[in-house]
Structure 1
């Protein structure tokens, strides 16, 4: 069976551009990622959480080179990954 979404593509909610691929991603535990996107048409930036699909390429971790990694995408990926970690800890009853 062919993977219908081999690169964790998403659609822009602002201009409805399809097949926007993540610029970077951080692992969210053993089974998930938080991916960061920037629309090539309108410049909108967003994140999305995905369950890791075996065999599917995981986007690179955010980097510091602004020619490759957009600073706003990096910031949102790190922020959403931190929020996801906090939710997991709080749901287990751990103190923050």
Structure 2
């Protein structure tokens, strides 16, 4: 089967550039990632959550700050924290 998006590419909502590859990503549980993007044309930054596709290469984690844009990395960590909080707060009490 042909994977239509093998690298978790996304489109920039600011200038409509297509196939922007993520700079880095963080695991969001066992079956998801939050990817951080910076448009090569307009420099707009954003995050996007993806379900992990078996066999698809994952973007690198933001380990070394010198390799990644600090603003995009901060945005990535913030979105991952928001996702964790939503999961935690949406859990139902077993009563």
After TM superposition, the score normalised by the length of structure 1 is 0.92
1:52 aligns with 2:52: yes
1:75 CA drift (Å): 0.2
Structure 2 counterpart of 1:80: 79
Counterpart Cα distance in 1 of 2:92 and 2:36: 29
Is residue 15–residue 42 contact of structure 1 (8 Å, CA) maintained in 2? yes
Structure 2 counterpart of 1:92: 91
Structure 1 counterpart of 2:29: 29
After TM superposition, the score normalised by the length of structure 2 is 0.93
Question: How many residues get paired?
Answer: 93
Runs of 4+ aligned residues of structure 1 deviating over 4 Å after TM superposition are: none
Query: C-alpha offsets along residues 62-82 of structure 1, whole Å, 9 cap, x if unaligned?
Result: 13333x200011001100000
CA-based RMSD: 1.1
Counterpart Cα distance in 1 of 2:4 and 2:23: 19
